[in-house]
Amino acid sequence: MDIDLVEFGQRLKRIRRAQGLTQEQLAEAADLNPRTVQKIEAGQMDILLTTLIRLKTALDCNPGELFEEEGAMIARETPHRPPAALRPFKSSADSHIG
């Protein structure tokens, strides 16, 4: 799955502003450097899971809210074949059902 960092950053900024927070206030609440928040909002920085958790906690929001824009996911699936363990199992008995 690829994440559109620019869209993620724009969504983070909209949520932050809707709550009346500055970048500095969000950074302080999330225990992050204000420059980190600035880079994330600008789409210039990948974020770690721990950073995502800090942001969602500071914003008191569901992590999904940071990835969804009016019902559309900004995380895009990359085409791939699921691992064998996740593919449907076909037994020899399935071929005799009919």
57 falls within a domain: yes
Write out the residue range of the structural domain in which residue 71 sits: 2-84
Strand-pair category, 68-69 with 72-73: antiparallel
17 falls within a domain: yes
92 falls within a domain: no
pLDDT in tens, the chain (98 residues): 577 899 999 999 999 999 999 999 999 999 999 999 999 999 999 889 999 999 999 999 887 888 775 544 444 443 444 444 444 544 455 555 54
Count structural domains, the chain.
Answer: 1
The CATH number linked to 80 is 1.10.260.40
61 falls within a domain: yes
Task: Kindly report the number of other CB atoms within 10 A of residue 75's CB atom.
Answer: 14
* pTM to 2 decimal places: 0.67
40 falls within a domain: yes
